[in-house]
Structure 1
């Protein structure tokens, strides 16, 4: 393997971290890590027990995400760094902390903040690839507004998918309600999303080698 190929994963990690930090609010911390085979070692005992039934690849992804989370929580001054997996698969954060974790096949990302800065937040990462055609009518609904993104553009569906995933992650801690794509209305032109409970979230996205989406309510 040449030097250029060896450096490519590091450049990807740096580019995504920079893009994610560009989306984040001033008091919202963000981080990124490339998933490695041994990353399950970063799971704390309580975290490991909460995902004990997950297969090796999923545990490595969870470990990479938790490694990022632990660094963010240390920066926030938390004594307890464990973020276990809840009954519905949602992260269980320490008191007075909100956050979100996401990963694709290559990278794990996470955001965290104190509740006096952000009430709830969600993040998603997706490959910068077109959404499968059969998913487009499920993800893109008449209530969505794509702004300058034409529904026929290759990445429009994937961007909306990421925005709705991030919005769901931000809404679930507040309402405890499982939502489908049809339940979330996203307006990419105004940068807002709405859920059936009447809650509204700010939504932003960026496209580099990955698609990143962030949703939050202050």
Structure 2
């Protein structure tokens, strides 16, 4: 299920779209980033983040606000989700999750670790074509865009690879480049250079969203 956004219809639309991508048992949510959202960072979370940039902290606070609510639904009360040494969130034992944001929206996905969801990654991107200079880096000969053009299809692929990296890193501990990940957007399957295979679910409406998980 997805948590209820505060007020804006765009939050609700994105939250519902993200919910539809996930497998049973995955909790998701969305929040529009607001000035002052850094107040939702718990003291330990705030201390684990090196940046002093207010905008970056507001985005992190918006993401943590979603996460705190989702964790409460899993009976994890007042748990600080620290930023790890390599930037990824540090989840409580038995919990898998992922947080992402673009310039306007923060999203998160959380679940109890199970045979059907052993790890998860999420990404959100604006509904804009991927710039040509990035396409050359992101799109490889092993990727399959289906009927999508390289503009929006490239942006979807970018989001999918970000989500795959976030889902694979807790399991393999490997830093991956874009060419270490191959994605078939039509079949919804992805693979990493280490042999990890994942499922990927994407949508371009109302926002570009990608969710990757290991069954």
Q: TM-score range by the shorter chain?
A: over 0.9
- Cα displacement string for residues 152-193 of structure 1 (whole angstroms, at most 9, x for unaligned residues): xx3011000000000000011011111010100001121100
Find out whether 1:189 has 2:186 as its counterpart: yes
Aligned residues of 1:131 and 1:158 also touching (Cα < 8 A): yes
Q: Which runs of 4+ in 1 moved over 3 A?
A: none
Q: Indicate the larger mover: 206-215 or 48-57.
A: 48-57
- One of 84, 90, 109 as aligned partner of 2:88: 90
CA distance in 2, matches of 1:25, 1:47: 28
Unaligned 5+ runs, structure 2: 1-6
**Root mean square deviation of aligned Cα:** 1.1
The equivalent residue for 1:24 is 22
- Count of paired positions: 208
Q: Which residue in the other structure is 1:127 paired with?
A: 126
Alpha-carbon contact 1:127-1:209 (below 8 Å) kept = no
Contact 2:68–2:78 (CA<8 Å) still a contact in 1?
no
TM-score (norm: length of structure 1): 0.92
Instruction: With the length of structure 2 as denominator, give the TM-score of the two structures.
Output: 0.94
Structure 1 residues 25-44: aligned runs within 5 Å: 25-44=23-42
> Are 2:161 and 1:169 aligned?
no
Higher Cα Rg, which structure: 1
Paired residue secondary structure (2:8): helix
Within 2, Cα distance between the matches of 1:38 and 1:72? 21
Match of 2:202 in 1: 205
